[in-house]
Amino acid sequence: MEYMWIGKIVNTHGIKGELRILSDVEYKEIIFKKGVNLYIGKEKVKQTIESYRYHKIYDMVKLEGISDINEGILYKGENVYINREELKFPGILKQDLIGFEVESIQYRGKVTSIEKSKAHDLLVVENKGKRYLVPYRDEFIEKIDIEHKKIDIKYMKGLFDED
C-alpha cells in the first residue's frame, strides 16, 4: 500500500462523532466522498467515509460505525492518510514533488517539503545545509519531468544567489 498524508483530525463537531480535518490536499472531490477509505494514526486504522461536507476551513467527515462524540474524540490529533492505490488522480499531486531534484543555471538541490503561504505553495529546496523557498507557480517552474523526478527552475536573479 502507498499511504499519502492528507491532513490531521483537529477535533470533533457535534455529538454524533463528526470529525474536523484540516487539510490542504488537492482533489478533495476525489478523496472526500462517501465510501472512500481513510487510514488514521500511526496504526493506519481503516475507516470508511459515511458523509462529507466543507465547513469554514475544515473538511467535516462522518465515519461509518462512529455514532457519538466519545467514539470520534479518540481520533483527535491523529494524522489521516489515504491509500493512493485505491484512488485515481487525474494528474500529479504537489506532494509527489517531494524528493524531486531541482536544477537551475545557478543551483541544484532537492525538494524536501512543501509549505503553504498566503499567496501560493512553496517548494522547500535544500542542498548543502542551505534552504530555499521556490514559489510553486508557472513563472518560476520551467519544466517538471515526472519520469526522471526532476524540476527545472527558470533563472531569476536573486532566487538562489548568495550575494
The domains of the chain are located at: 3-86, 94-153
> According to the model, what pLDDT value does residue 115 have?
87
> According to the model, what pLDDT value does residue 159 have?
64
Fold of 3-86: Elongation Factor Tu (Ef-tu); domain 3 (2.40.30)
Check whether 21 has a pLDDT greater than 90: yes
pLDDT tens-digit map of 24-51: 888 999 999 999 999 999 999 999 999 9
> According to the model, what pLDDT value does residue 129 have?
86
Alpha-carbon dihedral angle through residues 158, 93, 23, 38, given to the nearest 10 degrees: -150
In our burial notation (b when 16+ CB lie closer than 10 A, e otherwise), range 32-69 reads beeebebbbeeeeeebebbebeeeeebbbbbbeebeee
Number of H helices, E strands in the chain: 2, 12
Ordered strands of the 150-153 beta sheet: 130-135, 121-127, 107-116, 101-104, 150-153, 141-145
Measured in whole angstroms, the distance separating CA 76 from the mean position of its chain's CA atoms is 19
Beta bridge partners of 13: 18
| pLDDT higher at 27 or 163 | 27
pLDDT tens-digit map of 101-113: 998 876 789 999 8
Check whether 151 has a pLDDT greater than 60: yes
Cβ(63)–Cβ(47) below 8 Å: yes
Which of helix, strand or coil describes residue 108? strand
C-alpha cell at 62: 462522518
Fold of 94-153: SH3 type barrels. (2.30.30)
